[in-house]
Structure 1
Amino acid sequence: MNKKRIQQIKCLFTLVFAACTLFHAARSYAQTTQVTISQENVPMERVMNEIEKQTGYLFLSNNDVDIRRNVSVRIENGTLAEALGQMLKGSGVTYRLENKYISLSAAPRGGEPVTVKGTVTDANGPVIGATITIKGGTTGTTSAIDGSFSLSARPGDVLIVAFIGYKSIEIPFTGQTELTVELEEESLQMNAVVVTALGIKREEKALAYNVQQVKAEELTTVKDANFVNSLVGKVAGVTINAGAGGAGSSTRVVMRGQKSIEKSNTALYVIDGIPMYNNSFGGSGGSYGDQVGSESAADINPEDIESVNMLTGPSAAALYGSEAANGVII
């Protein structure tokens, strides 16, 4: 054996020894580095960012790895290997440490297709019409009237079970032939909406004018023959003066102060989208153009009212005309 051949063998042994040293160093670092993470049902990408901050490692992955899937990791002063194990549990994703990088790769899907049969239920019984699909694929089916379904999948696939009004569930498929899935109802808070003059529903925060609402239970807390008297102290910027004529007498409503000396300053009433001119009867002209007597609004039964919206500002006139210049009670 010549010297050149011996030198090549020495170089080869040196490279193999260096690679083994780096591999064992990476494994040792993964077993000794401590991390603390408390994340519940968050995208895997967020947990990866937290691990990078605490360890200095950088993640590498391809499009086969879904880093947006929700994971849960709860670990205190644990090792990097333990954190990665919790993060990748049930995902079919493996990792490899190389220098200061963590390479993620999806486990290869192998084996023959397996027909899995199962049932989709909720707290009340079978769920009809739930969709069962394979993540990243085009294969899918729906549950029958008894909640049963049948689907062909390969080990390593991820089944997604979803239905309107329920939380979607992702289930790693390992080759089981029977599966029972229980869906959990999902409660979503709806944004409050206001019906405008044209009957169009808009979110209250999207309106360019001021709207204040009083619920029916607030109107009936203190009984009054005229529901307008029940609005006293419940709406900002509105002055309400009850008439001195007893039950059924007119009530003077002024929004944002007096606007006219000769004409009436009272607000326009709109009932179910129809303007009602709240004329007073049986009285003589009073100060500021208002009258004392009875009025049409007093004929409305407070028990029939679902809610009252107070619309103030110049936009009221743009919606309901000049009669609404003093504001609108809807």
Structure 2
Amino acid sequence: MFKVISLWYNRMFSDPEAVAMALVFVIGFVMLYFFGNLLAPLLIALVLAYLLDWPVSFLASHGFRRGIATSLVLLVFFLIATFIVLRVLPTVWGQGMNLLTEYPVMLNSSQRWLESLPERYPEFIDGALVQTVVDNVRTRLMGVGEQLLQSSVSSIINLATVMVYSVLVPLMVFFMLSDKQVLMRSVTRFLPNDRRLLAQVWMEMNGQVINYIRGKAIEILVVGGVSYIVFALMDLRYSALLSVLVGLSVLIPFIGAFAVTLPVAMVGLFQWGVSPQFGYLILGYGIIQLLDGNVLVPILFSEAVNLHPLAIIVAVLVFGGLWGFWGVFFAIPLATLVKAVMNAWPHAEKAEVDQPSS
């Protein structure tokens, strides 16, 4: 047993650079796991810095000083963010509160419709089975409603934290963008001198993370905007709230689209019942999801993600369980990072092959 472990250790850690790379990633994992809440403003600032780096670099390459370019980009970004907070967010919040108020009524209406199915189609549907399903779904949905209400109350209580973030995050983003090269050199001072493998992984991951964050932002805006247009044209109630949910659902691959289908279908069923209008809603929503998965995602992420769908789902479950929202948001980049490390990791067999024969 010890011989097997020793052989495995010699094969995997025969290269000192591999040991250094493993140490760097272990320290990073420990810091994120135990101090993730404290580092949340830094993570938000990093995401925004990755998102805004392209326009800043574009202006800097056309004669603007990087500090001025950063100021201009941040000014435009925060004007847009202020518009969203003052105009869009109150509408979404009001619709969310109204939906929570009507939530029990929708559940009762859906329950009555499901319970009527065995009477209409007794040869196809078992009444006891329908009742069991209704009870389970009702229990789970009521639990979701209570969690949403608790989250709303806790978000009001944590308003002070949001105010602190609104000051700290813009400052960190500004310095990350304006002093990018200085900060990069400062960080490399704390890395091992032999960091060829780390540089290889960084070069592979940096472009993919930039493409992923930028692509996700575009995907959220496009999917959410198109959903709002479709819902508004159909005069669907809570169209702003539902379009925001549909847009944010793209953060969770596969699972998000399935989860957000329930509130869309539930609101449509409560508003129109089983009718052609409800069918048009489901058809339009399905077309949006198909275009997103088969057209928009390949265009935006053709160079960023080359992972098996099972690996993506496992990454969402694992990293989401470890770090919540940020784990879900970075699940694909983190899975890609794991893949890049596995590809770059030296093996004893590879080292023997690379050595010249005497």
Q: TM-score, normalising length from structure 2?
A: 0.16
Q: Which structure would you say has the larger RCO, counting Cα contacts within 8 Å and 6 or more residues apart?
A: 2
Q: TM-score, normalising length from structure 1?
A: 0.17
Larger radius of gyration: 1
Kindly indicate which of the two structures has a greater share of residues assigned to strand: 1
